[in-house]
Structure 1
Amino acid sequence: MTVIVPEPVLQVNNNPNSETVYEEQHDLNLDGGFIVPDSNAFGHSFRDYEKESKRKAVVEEFYRNNHINQTYEFAKKKKEEYGKLQKAKMSIWECCELLNEFVDESDPDLDEPQIEHLLQTAEAIRRDYPDQDWLHLTALIHDLGKVMLHPSFGEEPQWCVVGDTFPLGCAFNESIVHHQYFKENPDSQNPNFSTKLGIYSENCGLANVTMSWGHDEYMYLVAKGNNTTLPPAALFVIRFHSFYAMHRSGAYSCLMNDEDKEMLKWLHVFNKYDLYSKSKVRVNQEEVKPYYLSLIKKYFPAELRW
């Protein structure tokens, strides 16, 4: 089955001294009526990695380990291992329930179980975009790759499962959070990886780039490997939603091709909900479960290879 998704037409504010502004031109309202809250679940600014809090030390130690250990060779080996999809067989919802056991150590904004974040994001998008059911489901499943933390999946350390992602095989951009720890990464001493493009060519396309290994890449492989009928925009969102250096700071544009730039518009829509819907308000899982089960049935097989 082919799913055709209408593309949003965006108007960008070209004033270099102001933030990028996206305005509705046709039938997709990119604001969606969503009001960005003033503070996160701890009363601080969102994604504030310097604010003193009970989460700061945990988050910084996470990124120290992440930036030291995420090398090009490491990511290639993990992609080969997990890309075989031989870890388990289960449904999407069963995977959601497994995430009840985990809290993301890289997240300075929330310390609730992961399934709460998935439902909060999905329900916020569902409210503002009732006709875009593919986007509702994308929100529900975008973090399911974090199941790698589970003992039955190898109980991977958090530093190779969660956190911001970035390209490997080229220089580490300074916009990446806690960039200072990359100096201890072996790839920083590799002359082949130390230039802006590294092993890549100009506008080669993100499909040809090796990203740091984590839940984004894994869930992308799971979705593709199980022949999902979600549209390409959904797969782009799943694979790159943690690539903040690109979609928040504009870094690595030299690696993007025209298709990436078109898909990035959808990621900007999604990211607002992924980031700012986090709260201590719980979603009634049993109440919303039938709706999401119907979407899973529409876009995925009953049982997936993981």
Structure 2
Amino acid sequence: MPSGQLRFDDDVVIVTGAGRGLGRSHAQQFAARGARVVLNDIDLDVAKEAVAEIVAAGGTAVADDNNIATEEGAAELVKHALDEFGTLTVVVNNAGIINYHKLEDITPQLWSDMVSVTLNGTYFVTRAAWPTFLANDYGRVVNTTSNAGFAGNETLVHYGAAKLGIAGFTKALSQEVAGTGIHVNAIAPMAVTRMNRDAFFGGKESASDDWRDDLKSGRVPMGPPSAVSPTVLWLAHRDTQVNGDVFSTSSGKVSRVGFIVGEGYFNPDYTPEDLRDNVDAVRSLDNYLDPVRGTGDELALIPPLFQQ
């Protein structure tokens, strides 16, 4: 079994939304292990502050404030990485926004803004990096979805929709690169950040020297970004062969998220009444299928059912 520290000395990493929170932590941990990092944030001042911290610690990093919610901005970000460091090996799509509204209060503009930054930004940056990855037959993409996408959360309809879209993007794209040196995965992180602290606990941050104490006492609901970043680094490393997975990661717990299909109820001549009368079988997740190779996994089960 491999041993030793996972290093990134030959890697150039783009982290979007890297000025604060999760993205800043990801960038710091990449740089501490030898990566050259491009910290992208729409707020250039905070990106520069984060870069200064990395450089002061002996790392290599540059700031970038291109708007990844546009095709042009994403292309300029990738160009910046290539111009600065000559190559690109890792993209961490972390940028996103969050706001809390019930459906009736989500205006078309709020919906559009959410999708533009969170989902479209992931697409634009990945697509801009893609020619480099294809030419090198190597690359790592780590996207950021959310438990709010696949588990749901009231007042986060727009956020959940965009985040679940990222999960679908991850699963589909990973199949396009199967068997190559390009791997695409996603995390569903939960951490105390500037974006969510007001909603979760009145703006309070961990007050003790060890966040574990505040988590145990119930003062905070989850750990800091630094407890999430190791999952990102693991998925971004060239020795990691995982592809097409989503991992929930928070407070030291990391676990694979599955999108499963139950055994269900089968009757080629079924009626609405049949579903009413067999609702338990329809809803059951016993004997489930995990369609890791795509929709074909489920479709392959249909012909044998006709032979029973």
Tell me the TM-score range normalised by the shorter chain.
Answer: under 0.3
TM-score normalised by structure 1 residue count: 0.27
TM-score normalised by structure 2 residue count: 0.27
Report which of the two structures shows the higher radius of gyration computed on alpha carbons: 2
User: With CA pairs under 8 Å and 6+ residues apart, which has the higher RCO, 1 or 2?
Assistant: 1
